[in-house]
Structure 1
Amino acid sequence: MDASEFAVSAGRAVLDMMEREWQPLSAGELEQRLDQAVEEILEADLITELKTQPPAPAPTAVYVHLLQSQPTVGPQLLQTAATVAASFPQKEETTETLGQMETVDSAAVEYIKDLLQSSKSKARLAGRARLSLSHTILLSLTLLSERVSYRSVSRRFLLEKGNIHRIFFSFCDHINMLEERQIRWPVGEEADNILFPLFSSEKRPEDAEQRAPLVLGVLGHTQIPIRLSLGKHDVETTVPEVKRMKKEEAHLDSWLNLELLCDSSGRFLHCRISKGSDTDRGSSLRDKLKQHPELMPPGSCILAKPGYPLSAHILTPYITSHGLSEELFNKTLDEHFHILDQAVANLRARFQRLRYLDIGNYDRARAVVLTACVLHNVFLDMGQVVEAEVEKEDITQIGDGEMDNEGICRRDVLSDLLFKSFESGSTRCDDGSIRERVFTI
């Protein structure tokens, strides 16, 4: 390759970089921004004029009449004007409410902005050069938190749909780089501080502190529906996702498996995302803990839902119960499983797009789900907690996962220990069931 070919190759690389990192506004976007600027100026002038006039019995009609007298005002602004004018009587309350919303949103944007700027990757997010990092974050949070289409966001942020798509996935890639910092396995003092008891205080025997393990977290999974390459769906439709996917449900990869381990506060400690056809449920985590037992505080355990492997570190319920002790053990674990169910419900409630990802590419769908999980922990760090109603699961028969002898032995010992402590404070009924009575330890 001679010098001229090297020069041509270098020139192409520079042009590609400029196109990727610094794109000019297209003619359509420029015209859209100019129209919006003119409308905002007109609206601001008319609102100022209306405020200087004495109170009228029908402010909405007056305001709309003033706008109608302007030949350049479009129907969209007239509709906005009616909404704004109608809100004048409750101006103080509305302003206060909007102010609170802006405070929460701006706080989240600034917090995430600081995280991105302090991350290892200093590369600028892809997208329009004139779009600030704060607006990039706000745009991306809008797409994650609301079930809106790219077209709706295009009108809201005055950007072309193709560019919004590019900005959003660039944001997801950068947030994914924060996974190790935000979704991390606790060790040392941090792990000791999040441990919680397996048995509640009223069921704990006198020597439970020596014999019963403490719980590090609760392990389970949920499924995120995604679009296959078969066709597109309307992301804003109100039709339930399951009904909408009847044509795709036979294909396992119309779902993503989201495996999560969370502590008692609902914070994610472990996250694994795989295709729906992936049948590995907790095996990789079990093997990791077996190879690195130092990851578990001494005497601690993880509680996992049915179908997960039973091991020395992971305890699962009995699938087939043969006695009262096993039923009591299962009931105790069910009470802890609510922690994970609540965390998943909060995740879906905050990030509405997870209810159905209209994305046919697995890698991109995975990036969006991981972004939501990372931001879930970020919002918890900020103290912004969403308490959503836990949805009832479609319960199907799940068999036992893999079991090793050490796990079987440990579960049986704990089941007997729990039953003995419970039986000491209860009485047996004629039908063989157990009725608890008041007792003091």
Structure 2
Amino acid sequence: MEVRNQCVASAGRAIMDLIQSEWEPLSHWELDQRLDRAVEEMIEADLMAQAQSSSVVMQESQQEDLKPLQPEKSTSAYESEHRAQAAEAAEANPAVQHITNLLQRSSSNHSKTRLSGRARLSLSHTVLLSLTLLYKRISYRNVSANFHLEKGNIHRIFFSFCDRVIALQDQLIKWPTGQEEVHLLPFSSWLGHNEGLEERGLPKVLGVLGDTSIPIRLPTGKPECESDPSEAKRLKNDLDPDSWLNLELVINGEGRFIYCHISKGSEKDRGRALLEILQQNPEMVPPGTCLIADVGYPLTGQILTPFSAGRSPQENLYNRSVGIHLGRFEQALADLKQRFQKLRYLDMGNYDRAKVVVLTACILNNVFLDMGDVTKGLIGQTTKEDVTEEVTDDAAGVAMRDTVVNLLYSTLEAETH
């Protein structure tokens, strides 16, 4: 009992001492210190309360945001949904399905392998992605966003597709030989008596030979000309020959490509490669047939070219007939570049890769024509280069052209009298 009383008395004295110390007058300095400390404690407590409240809200928001990214559930479901949509789009595209079936039927090893360690796309999805890159002048970055794939992965997928298509080159771009059906055209469609003229030496047209330029990005590591202002000015005004590819083609009567040759812009080939092949294999252009080419190509017994400038009614009449065939070639080029707009400018400085893309587009162009899928481009968009290189006319070619000129003019005179 006494111990309890002592504790109560001690506590009472402590309370009295506290009250006394609180009620004792404070100096101005001590009062300011206590007020400042009290204000700081109040502000600190308020800030701590706001921080704790914001932290709770942020944690809840982060948890909600992270839920769809869980690989076990949401990510796989999202990818599955996206791939299902891509597969549906591919199945709805006749061109994608046709090319997919074509690649599946091929015996190429490319169609049976996949890129290890990379996203595994179905073949139809790969075709859809690759055609998207060829149809439009679109970057890997944009395709990456649309197909939800890494940019480097898209690069590998696209060139893998190109390799598969190029493996079919011999099947899809081939010269007609043997018993194959040959689509020949009359030399002059406005003459109504071609049969008799052919017996007298007027040939039928097996194909039209021509070329075009495909612009590409200049290769890296080109020499600088800053030390020579005159040379820098010349390069600025003149197109560097390495900034394009030469695409040389032969089209038949249906507009299909039966020959394709690609070279660097600095390589002035212009029919020489084909001419060597024809000299070694003259049966490729049977008797009674010919190829037609524009000015600047060699005039031979198998290749007829127009006069650079008609100097007589006979020559003008001949040029008119040849010009109709050359117009078909220009239309075929315009159609090719309209269908595959990537060919209008290849943003790649690597010649081999650029060549792969151009060859792939030419092969696929024949595939689309086989499907009956026709695309019409504007001929005005195809730029023709000025021919500065002189060619030597072959004696057999000169004789063949003179025969054709005389037959055409004599027939026209007979019809007008």
TM-score by length of structure 1 reads 0.68
> Which residue is equivalent to 1:148?
138
Q: How does 1:406-421 map to 2 (within 5 A)?
A: 406-421=396-411
1:387 aligned residue: 376
Does the CA contact (< 8 Å) of 1:308 and 1:402 recur in 2? Answer: no
Q: Does 2:24 align with 1:37?
A: no
8 Å Cα contact 1:203/1:422 also seen in 2:
no
SS, match of residue 197 in structure 1 = coil
Q: CA RMSD in A?
A: 2.9
* Paired position in structure 2 for 1:212: 202
When residues 384 and 145 of structure 1 are mapped into structure 2, their CA distance, relative to the original with a 3 A threshold, is same
SS in 2 for 1:130: coil
Which residue in the other structure is 1:114 paired with? 101
Secondary structure class of the residue paired with 1:196: coil
Which residue of the partner structure matches residue 357 of structure 1? 346
**Post-superposition CA distance 1:334-361 (Å, at most 9, x none):** 0111111111111101101001000110
Superimposed CA distance per residue, residues 38-75 of structure 1 (whole angstroms, 9 cap, x where no aligned partner): 9979xx9xxxxxxxxxxxxxxxxxxxxxxxxxxxxxxx
1:291 maps to what in 2?
280
Change (3 A) 1:224 1:207: same
Report the CA distance between 1:118 and its aligned residue.
2.5
TM-score calculated relative to the size of structure 2: 0.72
Identify the match of residue 264 of structure 2 among 262, 275, 282: 275
How many residue pairs get aligned? The number is: 325
SS at match of 1:37: helix
**CA–CA distance in structure 2, aligned partners of residues 167 and 369 of structure 1:** 17
For residues 207 and 137 of structure 1, do their structure 2 counterparts lie closer, same or farther at Cα, with a shift above 3 Å needed? same
Assess if the C-alpha contact under 8 Å between 2:203 and 2:290 holds in 1. yes
Distance 1:206 1:364, change over 3 A: closer
1:223–1:111 distance in 2 versus 1, CA, 3 Å: same
Instruction: Decide which of 158, 163, 179 is 1:168's aligned counterpart.
Output: 158
5 Å-filtered alignment, 1:6-85, equals: 34=75, 37=78
User: What is the distance in 1 between the residues matched to 2:174 and 2:195?
Assistant: 34
Gaps of at least 5 residues in structure 2 are: 1-68, 222-234
1:132 aligns with 2:173: no
Question: Residues 219 and 142 from structure 1, CA distance in 2 versus in 1: closer, same or farther, beyond 3 angstroms?
Answer: same
How many Å apart are 1:276 and its aligned residue?
0.3
Check the 8 A contact 1:258/1:273 in 2, yes or no.
yes
Q: CA deviation at 1:424?
A: 2.3
**Deviation for aligned residue 1:189:** 3.6
Q: 1:269 to 1:394 in 2, by over 3 A?
A: closer
Q: Percent of aligned positions with the same letter in both sequences?
A: 48
Could you tell me how far 1:305 is from its partner in structure 2?
Answer: 1.1
Secondary structure of the residue aligned to 2:263 is: strand
Distance in 2 (alpha carbons) for counterparts of 1:299 and 1:249: 43
Q: CA deviation at 1:34?
A: 2.8
- Distance in 2, Cα, partners of 1:34 & 1:170: 27
Distance of 2:107 and 2:412 partners within structure 1? 52
Give CA deviations for 1:347-393 in whole Å, capped at 9, x if unaligned: 10110100100011000000000000000000111111112221264
1:110 and 1:191 mapped to 2: Cα distance? 27
Mapping for residues 322-337 of structure 1, pairs under 5 Å: 322-337=311-326
User: Match of 2:107, as an amino acid?
Assistant: K
User: Tell me, what secondary structure is at the counterpart of 2:386?
Assistant: coil
After superposition, the C-alpha distances for 1:63-99 in whole angstroms (9 at most, x for unaligned) are xxxxxxxxxxxxxxxxxxxxxxxxxxxxxxxxxxxxx
CA contact (8 A) 1:266 1:343 kept: yes
Evaluate the alpha carbon distance shift between residue 342 and residue 105 of structure 1 in structure 2; reply closer, same or farther with a 3 A threshold: farther
8 Å contact kept, 1:260–1:272: yes
Report how far residue 150 of structure 1 moved.
0.8
Q: Which amino acid aligns with 2:413?
A: E
Compare 279-288 and 362-371 and name the one that shifted more. Answer: 279-288
Q: Indicate the structure (1 or 2) with the bigger Cα radius of gyration.
A: 2
